[in-house]
Every structure is written in C-alpha cells, then in structure tokens.
Amino acid sequence: MLCRLCHSDCGSPLLDFPSPSIVSTTAILDAPTTAYVCPSCGHIQKPDFAEVDAFYDQSYRISLDSGDHDQLYAVVNGQPVYRTQFQAELATRLLDIGSRMAVLDYGCGKAATLERIRQNIPGITPAVFDISSSYKAHWDRWIAPGDQAMYRVPPEWSGRFDRVMAHFVLEHATDPRDVFSEIGRVLAPGGKAFVTVPDVFGNPGDLLVIDHVNHFTPASLSRAATESGLALESLSDGDYRGAYVAIFVKGEAKACPTGTGNIQAIAEDWRASRARIIAHADAHAGADVEIYGAGFYGAFIAMLVKDRQRVLHFLDRNPFLQGTTLFGIPVRNPDDVLGRPAHDAPRTLYAGLNPAVAATVMDGWCTQSGRDPLSIIYI
Ligand SMILES: [Zn+2]
C-alpha cells in the first residue's frame, strides 16, 4: 500500500496475522491484522477499514453506555487515577488554557475532557467536533448548538480557536494530513494544538489494534503537521504513559525530529508471543486458566485461547471493569481471589498486561496472593 503521508510504496507487510483481530474497544473482528512501514518516511500504518464511516458512526461509541464510565490511567498510592481527569490537567497545563479562550475538542466523542476543563475554567468557550452524531445528547447539556459540529468542520470556524485538542484521534484517521489541515485552518494565528497519539514503542500492543490505522513516530507526526502550517513546539513520550503528547503552534516550522524506531523488533516480538501463547493454550487444552488484565492485552490472550470457556475470569484493578464481562467471561477484582487455597487455583495465569510493566505487577501479585511465579505466562 501507499504511505498516507508521503505516498511511497510500503512494499511487503511488516506484520501479517490471520483472523481474528482485535478492535480498540476490545471486540474481536473476523479480519486479518496487516501492518506496513514506509521505507521513505518511517510512518507505520494499516489498511483502511472497508466500511470505516459506518463503523465509526454506528459502532464506535466508546464510553457511551454509562455516564460514569472512565478508563483507568494509573493507580497511585492505592487510589485510581482516571483518564479524563488526567487528560484535562495535562492539556490545561501544556496548552496554558486561560479564561475567555475558545477551545475546540476535535474528534471529541462525549468531550468528557473538555467538559472537565470547563468545570475548572468556566470562562472558556467550548466547541466540539466529531465524525459521528452519537454524542449530541451529551453535548447539548453544556455546549451551545452553534459550537457543535458533526461530520464536517464548518467553513466559518476558520481562524476561530485559541486552542484545539485532538485526544487519540489521528491513529484512526484515514487521512491524517487532512486532520492537521483542518486543525491548522481553525486555529487563530499563534494558536496552539494539543495532540495525543499512541506510542507503539512504549505500548507495543498498539501495533495489533486493527482500528488504529496509523502508528506515528515523532518524525512522521511532525511531518504530517508541518505541511499544514503547524510547527512542533514540544513532543514527549513521558507525559502520558503509552502515548506521545505533542504541542503544535500555528506558524512556520523550524527543525523537525528525525529517525525511526525499531518497529521491526516489535513486530518480531509479537510473532514470537503469538506463537508461544497459541502453543501453550493448545498444549494445556481442557485446563482452567485465569487472565490478569481485562484491557487490550488480556483480550488479545483470550482471543488466542481457542477453548475460551476454560477462562474462569479476568482479574483487573479497574473498578469500572469489575463486575462486567468480556467475551462473556466475568471480570473480577484481584483481591476477591486472595485467600483461595493454592490447590484450588488454576495452574495457569496469563499476564494480560503491557510487557513493559507486566513483570512488576505480577511480582507484586505473586507476593500478595501466594501464587507460584512459575505459573504465570507472559506475552
Ligand atoms: Zn512515507
């Protein structure tokens, strides 16, 4: 396929896994996962969805089912920190959002982050745009009708905004250059944009999320923005776990980051992990198993365990996931299975966690639960 940023031929796939695949909402899709890397600019990408418009409009209703649902970002001193609050504080700080600013949340979904910012800074003028009409009822509670846009950004919004945020939008975009072009168009001169995208090098599972059709490197993200008159002011892989946070200023670009990460090594790790989990699950078919983690990594493991009714439960620290089901399997609080007699525990526990943190989390769990560390299978 051709690179979405520079139109070079990407050649043969970086990664090509047969069906099934996994969607960012942890649904399983009957489709292969194929990824490419551009030999010219280093951008990593997947083919478009066949019916991408329908998919986003009808199906991609993240966090809509419950008004209180939020994703867990971290547990600090035993207390959960949720994504909305974390994003709101980060964007406010990095964008220096002040009273009387016009702030657009581009590709916003429910716009929970912007709503939180407005609670903290009531003087801002909030505006929202999404390629779906699913969220209108949420917006109507607190956003003026003229400050809402669906499907297309109004022509009269050109140069209107002091600040634009695009939280985890560009990884879904079939034309990321067009998104940057629109952001550049609606920003006032000197206005700033806050952009987050997954960092596939910090969170390698992102390479397997089939609806994340772009995986940016700092160089490819900056390149895509520069063409739209947006200069990179800062880019960090440390402000937001598993993501790049970039601040762009409307104006002439100076130096851009260069270099590509070692995506080939990540693809090779996934080939090995996938084969190892399938081999282990097949060799222990019929035995009960547990999966620690009900997010992407846990879902990925469950997808590979053919005998899925043998998965007793997922264990997850996120209180909003506890009590729900994933693929019909209950999600439980890890503390609920403490004190269970050792002979009563399944022999196998899969660690469905980001490999970067999995060993630390599972070491803590083994100490707490008395589990044999040798019973844990890592990705
Ligand atoms: Zn390219």
Q: How far is the centre of ligand 1, averaged over its atoms, from the C-alpha of 11 (Å)?
A: 11
Alpha helix stretches (DSSP H) within the chain: 52-54, 83-95, 112-120, 136-140, 176-186, 218-226, 263-283, 296-304, 355-369
From first to last of the 379 residues of the chain, give the pLDDT tens digit: 999 999 999 999 999 999 888 888 777 888 889 999 999 889 999 998 765 455 555 454 444 444 445 677 777 777 778 889 999 999 999 999 999 999 999 999 999 999 999 999 999 999 999 998 989 999 999 999 999 999 999 999 999 999 999 999 999 999 999 999 999 999 999 999 999 999 999 999 999 999 999 999 999 999 999 988 999 999 999 999 889 999 999 987 776 777 778 999 999 999 999 999 999 999 888 888 999 999 889 999 999 988 888 999 999 988 878 898 888 899 999 998 877 766 667 778 999 998 888 999 999 988 888 888 888 899 9
Q: How far is the centre of ligand 1, averaged over its atoms, from the C-alpha of 4 (Å)?
A: 7
Instruction: Give me the pLDDT at residue 33, please.
Output: 92
Instruction: Give me the pLDDT at residue 279, please.
Output: 93
Instruction: Give me the pLDDT at residue 73, please.
Output: 76
User: For residues 79 and 262, what is the distance between their CA atoms, to the nearest angstrom?
Assistant: 35
User: For residues 332 and 6, what is the distance between their CA atoms, to the nearest angstrom?
Assistant: 46
User: For residues 90 and 323, what is the distance between their CA atoms, to the nearest angstrom?
Assistant: 30
Instruction: Give me the pLDDT at residue 173, please.
Output: 93
The helix-helix angle for 296-304 and 263-283 (nearest 10°) equals 50
Q: How far is the centre of ligand 1, averaged over its atoms, from the C-alpha of 152 (Å)?
A: 26
CB-proximal residues (5 Å) to ion ligand 1? 3, 5-6, 8, 38, 40-41, 43
Q: How far is the centre of ligand 1, averaged over its atoms, from the C-alpha of 42 (Å)?
A: 6
Q: How far is the centre of ligand 1, averaged over its atoms, from the C-alpha of 10 (Å)?
A: 8
Q: How far is the centre of ligand 1, averaged over its atoms, from the C-alpha of 193 (Å)?
A: 23
Instruction: Give me the pLDDT at residue 275, please.
Output: 95
Instruction: Give me the pLDDT at residue 374, please.
Output: 80
Q: What is the DSSP letter of 79?
A: E
User: For residues 340 and 126, what is the distance between their CA atoms, to the nearest angstrom?
Assistant: 51
User: For residues 21 and 209, what is the distance between their CA atoms, to the nearest angstrom?
Assistant: 8
Instruction: Give me the pLDDT at residue 221, please.
Output: 94
DSSP letters along 291-314, please? EE--SHHHHHHHHH-SSGGGEEEE
Q: How far is the centre of ligand 1, averaged over its atoms, from the C-alpha of 6 (Å)?
A: 4
What domains lie within the chain, and their CATH numbers? 72-250 (3.40.50.150), 263-378 (3.40.50.720)
Instruction: Give me the pLDDT at residue 31, please.
Output: 85
Instruction: Give me the pLDDT at residue 341, please.
Output: 66
Instruction: Give me the pLDDT at residue 368, please.
Output: 86
Handedness of CA 192, 196, 199, 202 (dihedral sign): positive
